[in-house]
Amino acid sequence: FACDKCRTAWENSVMHDFEDSGDSPLELSPLDELKAKLRGDVVCDTDSAEVYNDAKLIWNGDWEIVNAPKMVVHARGVTDIQNTIAYAKAAGLELAVRCGGHSLKGLSTNDGGLVLDLGKYMKAVRIDNKTERVWFQGGCLVKDVDMETVPFGYATVLGAVGNAGTGGLVSGGGYGYFSRKYGLSVDNVLEIELVTADGTYLTCSENENSDLFWACRGGQSNFGVITAFTMQLFRCPTEIYGGLVLYDMDDAEIVLDAFQQFALDPDCPREASTHIYSLTLSEEQKLLSVQVCYLGDPEEGKQAYAKFLGAATCVDDQTKVTTYQQYQVFSDEVYRIKGIPSYWRSRNMKPNIKLPIRDLIDVINASPAEGILVLEHFGGRIMELEPSSTAYRHRDQDFVITFTGFGFQNGESRDAVKKWIDESTDKLLPACSGGSYLNYDSGAAEASFGENLPRLRQIKKKYDPENFFTCNINILPEE
């Protein structure tokens, strides 16, 4: 206080309030105490519907995902996260961690719990050209990182869509256009900073808390709230070759066969990343869309793809020489809007298996208007690493199939989508391995982590013995 007079005035006013209310002015509710400690914000289900709905918005608007948290905390840093964990524990609230909110299964929200969001404020990115590393906070979207690295001529392995969050994408595997050349995101993480269930702030790497480092690379949010990643950078070409080539379904057999020959050729360039989609213009009119991306000299890319793409006469060829960032924006446009209902299932195909081309065509032909079949070419560097090198173990598949129902509007069309996906999964079962790409699906822990599960359960027991972090493919602590 500047002088004794000021002190007396303040004491009198406090005593006055105290006497009037019959309550201590320092006795705050636990929630008010949390708010007082935070640099970030809290939005509760008692706030205006507009503010609350905006704060809890996630990418998948499927009404079967119950997105009704009691509150959302937008954290600004490590201490906000520590205080929020302490509050959620004391209040007995389930805690869901959220970055981009792109979980296809709604794993970043809950019913009546607390959503801890890093995506609003924790988006700092710093690149170090000397060591060729990028450090970024656990609330960054893929494009936040790309926008800071690509202009300097660098990139790291992140997803194929700029709007997806890195928090879920990297901790769950991370497949992108660079994966065939450099591996999954988890294979390029050098250091992770996180807050564990008891509020401890830790750094982990190959040399420090290496058990936790191993577990966090595939174990999603089971081990803590990841506040920052450090990842390896590599040179990103200034120009790339890519785009869509559309074919009539009558040519699907020829195109899929050409794709298979291209993808399974041992000399298939690792710069080439290929996705096949079914496109439904109307229930009667469907197209097969080949999305190509060559992250190297564009002329080499054109040549590498020429035989495959020329196997049949296309309806439309939209490929061009472009930049990596512009290429990603193209995918972003398709998936930009949050809140559209969708339903997803993913299956890894068995290793060294030929594509069941006839069955794939039947599945596409049977799809409802909202149904999309996606076939992605994995392989390359992903396959060279041991399944136990990180917690993410699915490394032996050349292809991943994903079934999606996107944009259904009512229960009837949702049921039709689900029926199509159930029947398609059964039909393609003989060609599938039983595993799935973890970022697209959320099966049981046994199928998801397989032989890595016992070690993951030991590490869970060490860092989260009470299984506080449950909004994920949950790993139970070892008994």
| Residues near ligand FAD, by CB under 6 A | 59, 96-104, 107-108, 118, 138, 159-161, 164-165, 167-169, 171-176, 220-221, 225-226, 335, 439-440, 471-472
Pair type for strands 225-232 and 189-195: antiparallel
Considering the complex, state which of residue 99 and residue 258 has its C-beta at the smaller distance from ligand FAD.
99
Judged by beta carbon, residue 159 or residue 368, the one nearer ligand FAD is 159
Q: Minimum distance from CB of 104 to ligand FAD (Å)?
A: 5
Closest distance to ligand FAD from the beta carbon of 143 (Å):
12
Task: Identify which of residues 190 and 357 has a Cβ nearer to ligand FAD in the complex.
Answer: 190
Provide the pairing of β-strand 95-98 with 114-117: parallel
Structure tokens at 410: 């009512």
Residue closer to ligand FAD (CB basis): 333 or 466:
333
* Smallest separation, CB 10 to ligand FAD (Å): 42
Instruction: Give the torsion sign (CA, 422, 442, 385, 456).
Output: negative
Which C-beta is closer to ligand FAD: that of 312 or that of 441?
A: 441
204 CB-contact burial (10 Å; exposed 0-12 / middle 13-18 / buried 19+): buried
Q: How far is the CB of 306 from ligand FAD (least distance, A)?
A: 26
Longest dimension (CA), the chain: 91
SS3 179: helix
Nearest distance from residue 24's CB to ligand FAD, in Å? 37
Residues β-bridged to residue 97: 116
The CB-of-311 to ligand FAD minimum distance in angstroms stands at 26
Closer to ligand FAD by CB, 360 or 374: give it: 374
Measured from each CB, the residue nearest to ligand FAD is: 167
| CB of 312 or CB of 382, closer to ligand FAD | 382
* Smallest distance, ligand FAD to C-beta of residue 214, A: 15
E strand or H helix at 38: none
Q: How far is the CB of 288 from ligand FAD (least distance, A)?
A: 20
Structural element, H or E, at residue 447: helix 445-449
Per DSSP, what are the bridge partners of residue 418? none
> Cβ 182 to ligand FAD, closest distance in Å?
14
Q: Which of 323, 330, 248 is nearest to 289 (CA)?
A: 248
Q: What angle do CA 314, 319, 323 make, to 5 degrees?
A: 170
Q: Which residues pair with 71 in a beta bridge?
A: 44, 114
Q: How far is the CB of 220 from ligand FAD (least distance, A)?
A: 5
Task: Measure the CA–CA gap between 155 and 252, rounded to whole angstroms.
Answer: 34
Residue 284 class from Cβ within 10 Å (0-12 exposed, 13-18 middle, 19+ buried)? exposed
Find, among 235, 257, 136, the residue nearest to 181 by Cα: 235
Q: Which residue in the block uniquely carries the two structure tokens 């070409």? A: 237
* Residue spans of alpha helices (H) in 265-323: 298-309
Which residue, 116 or 312, has its beta carbon nearer to ligand FAD?
116
What residues does 347 pair with on adjacent strands? 401
**Inter-CA distances, 309 with 258, 266, 290, 436, 462, Å:** 8, 18, 8, 28, 52
Q: How far apart are CA 81 and CA 116, in angstroms?
A: 8
Q: What's the start-to-end Cα distance of the chain, in Å? A: 56
Residue with tokens 């449950």: 470
Q: How far is the CB of 380 from ligand FAD (least distance, A)?
A: 15
Q: How far apart are CA 421 and CA 410, in angstroms?
A: 17
Please name which of 218, 158, 177 lies closest in space to residue 386, comparing C-alpha atoms.
218
CB of 64 to ligand FAD, least distance (A): 16
Give whichever of 97 and 231 is closer to ligand FAD, judged by the CB atom: 97
Q: Smaller CB distance to ligand FAD: residue 100 or 356? A: 100
Give the Å distances, CA to CA, from 164 to 74, 124, 474: 18, 16, 21
Nearer to ligand FAD, 99 or 372 (CB): 99
Task: Output 189 or 312, the one with its CB closest to ligand FAD.
Answer: 189
